[in-house]
């Protein structure tokens, strides 16, 4: 059976635990990755993902969450004591651990504690494509999709994601036609993760201007909150329940996306994602 060492990414991108969240986000965007290993010197201290940046900083308390992300150290948002795996473990074992724990990446660690790589759900997609199973999208997809209207505020989008425990929502028109997708990547890129309170409280702000007499004057300026269509990924790509799962997986790899809405008879009937592929590979163990 194929081993983790054959599919892991190495070397890995790391960040020190006292560095700011802003740098973590910038590194992820620069290198097109979704997670960083957080180090305390030579020791693995945690892991930080785009999900951590968009979700944990979006919560109301404690007070440090309202600071600019250039002032928040990574250690406050990272996941401590991340699960690791050995290079000699099988790919199926890695998939099983990811599936059981709802995670998308595992640091790869030698016996002496040395970090030698990381295996992610995207590496599992490559393995899935190589194995070339004959399953269809409809066999693996998650049924039921959380959707929002394109004019819903980002506050509403965040609440829907948290309440339903999902990593993405489909953005729809009035007639329920999907027009985009919002993931934690979109939220992290937009920087909306630690401005949720501002969206709630600053619909109207006071602006200062000079009047003709040279004295300071004030006027009220209405702010329009950001909405789903401002940050969604579009144009959207679809798949169909009868499409081969390998063909859909190749699209995920080629387009570097995490999932595809599944449409049948012009209705969204599910979502085919990296998580579904991980769950399938886990079943092979």
For residue range 121-151, what is the model confidence (pLDDT) as tens digits?
999 999 999 999 999 999 999 987 898 999 9
Q: What was the pLDDT predicted at 53?
A: 83
The percentage of the chain sitting over the pLDDT mark of 90, rounded to a whole number, equals 51
pTM of structure: 0.78
For residue range 87-131, what is the model confidence (pLDDT) as tens digits?
999 999 999 999 999 999 999 999 877 899 999 999 999 999 999
Q: What was the pLDDT predicted at 258?
A: 86
Altogether, the residues listed in the chain come to a count of: 285
Alpha-carbon gap, residue 12 to 172, rounded angstroms = 37
Query: Are the C-beta atoms of 137 and 241 separated by less than 8 Å?
Result: yes
- The angle subtended at Cα 20 by Cα 24 and Cα 194, nearest 5°, is 85
> Distance from CA of residue 166 to its chain's centroid?
10
What is the average pLDDT across 260-266? 87
pLDDT at 257 over 90: no
Q: What was the pLDDT predicted at 40?
A: 93
**Mode of pairing for the β-strands spanning 14-16 and 35-40:** parallel
For residue range 175-219, what is the model confidence (pLDDT) as tens digits?
778 888 988 778 766 654 444 444 343 343 434 444 555 555 555
> Distance from CA of residue 127 to its chain's centroid?
21
DSSP state letter for 144: -
Closest by Cα among 185, 268, 200 to 233: 185
Q: What was the pLDDT predicted at 203?
A: 40
Q: What was the pLDDT predicted at 189?
A: 67
What is the average pLDDT across 265-270? 85
For residue range 56-83, what is the model confidence (pLDDT) as tens digits?
766 655 555 567 788 889 999 999 999 9
The percentage of the chain sitting over the pLDDT mark of 70, rounded to a whole number, equals 83
């Amino acid at each position: 059976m194929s081993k983790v060492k054959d599919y892991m990414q190495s070397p890995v991108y790391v960040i020190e635990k006292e560095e700011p969240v802003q740098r973590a986000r910038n590194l992820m965007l620069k290198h097109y990755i979704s997670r960083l290993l957080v180090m305390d010197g030579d020791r693995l201290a945690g892991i930080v993902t785009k999900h951590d940046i968009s979700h944990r900083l979006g919560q109301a308390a404690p007070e440090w969450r309202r600071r600019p992300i250039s002032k928040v150290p990574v250690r406050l948002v990272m996941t401590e004591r991340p699960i690791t795996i050995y290079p000699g473990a099988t790919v199926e074992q890695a998939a099983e651990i990811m599936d059981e724990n709802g995670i998308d990446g595992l640091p790869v660690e030698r016996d002496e504690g040395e970090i030698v790589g990381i295996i992610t759900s995207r590496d599992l997609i490559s393995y899935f494509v190589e194995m070339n199973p004959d399953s269809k999208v409809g066999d693996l997809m998650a049924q039921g999709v959380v959707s929002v209207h394109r004019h819903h505020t980002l506050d509403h989008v965040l609440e829907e994601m948290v309440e339903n425990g999902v990593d993405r929502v489909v953005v729809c028109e009035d007639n329920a036609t999907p027009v985009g997708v919002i993931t934690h990547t979109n939220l992290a890129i937009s920087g909306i993760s630690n401005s949720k309170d501002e969206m709630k409280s600053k619909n109207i702000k006071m602006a200062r201007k000079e009047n003709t007499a040279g004295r300071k004057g004030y006027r009220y300026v209405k702010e329009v909150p950001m909405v789903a269509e401002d940050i969604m990924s579009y144009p959207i790509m679809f798949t169909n329940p009868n499409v081969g799962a390998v063909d859909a997986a190749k699209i995920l790899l080629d387009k570097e996306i995490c999932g595809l809405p599944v449409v049948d008879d012009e209705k969204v009937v599910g979502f085919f994602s990296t998580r579904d592929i991980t769950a399938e590979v886990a079943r092979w163990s």
